[in-house]
Amino acid sequence: MVTNLDGRARPAPQLGDAFDTARAEQRAALIGYLPTGYPSVRGSIAAMEAMVEGGVDAVEVGLPHSDPVLDGPAIRSAVEAALHAGTRIAHVMRAVSAVAATGAPAVCMSYWNPIARYGVEQFAHDLAGAGGCGLIAPDLPAEEAEGWRTASDRNGLDRVFLAAHSSSTERLTTIATASKGFVYATGVTGVSGSSGLVPARARHLVTRVRQVTDLPVCVGLGISTGEQAAQVAEFADGVIVGSAFVRRLLDAPDERTGIRGVHRFAADLTAAVRSAPAPVRTTRTSRGDSS
């Protein structure tokens, strides 16, 4: 249970509800990422709330890590500052609770090492208790996630694994089978914030993933403009934007201006996603390798 902004208790928001709403409105869902602790813990929470006010359907609440190997310069700069300022998992749980109180699902984004050090079962218990709905751990292979699968099932959490263009159909099947909530299809090869999103290539990966699962498939990495978001919204169940939100905070002269920039950008992306034609959702037709 979580407490609404009006003080009333209710069940924690779930990813499935967000996708159901988007599907009923014949559109893709919009998911935004921000790291906890930048430009401050309070400022990061306010920025996440601003994303929701701007129209995002769910928020990836980032847990800062000292070696974010899959993240580009924007996110690296923000998480390094957050760690230097003393951001800890307790602050992440505060952010999760604040997002859940808005009515939007809060899914934690974290590398695996901090969770392993914290204790897998304890992390799952605390995340669920804070109102979180699941975890994205980009460096945790689905094949090595038995402990997390057990802990997440026990605590009613979704688990999201990443699918890449280079993945074979056999591996996509493993990823999809291990996932709950949605499958994260990487839009580009490289770190977050990379340019060069090719919608046709991302569409092909989404199609391949859909051949092995009925879960929603969301595309992230490489999306930084409303035009790109609208292109992806034509074929994916969800559009994930991270570095471009972080950049609004990094480039702002002060915290308040950055939060306003996040709100405006969220509203722009929301308008772009909702203006796109309804996503074409192919169904499972074959398990033959199409790589």
**Residues labelled catalytic:** 60, 71
Furthest-apart CA atoms within the chain: distance in Å: 53
The answer to whether 36 touches 44, Cβ cutoff 8 Å, is yes
Question: What is the DSSP secondary-structure string of 73-121?
Answer: HHHHHHHHHHHHTT--HHHHHHHHHHHHHHTS-EEEE--HHHHHHH-HH
Q: Which two tokens stand for residue 149?
A: 């699968």
39 upstream amide cis, omega within 30 of 0: yes
Q: Of 186, 140, 143, nearest to 166 (Cα)?
A: 186
DSSP states of 20-83 as a string?
Answer: HHHHHTTS-EEEEEEETTSS-HHHHHHHHHHHHHHT-SEEEEE---S--TT--HHHHHHHHHHH
CA gyration radius, the chain: 17
Query: What token pair was written down for 62?
Result: 């980032």
CA 217-221-226 angle, 5° bins:
90
Q: Which two tokens stand for residue 223?
A: 């999306």
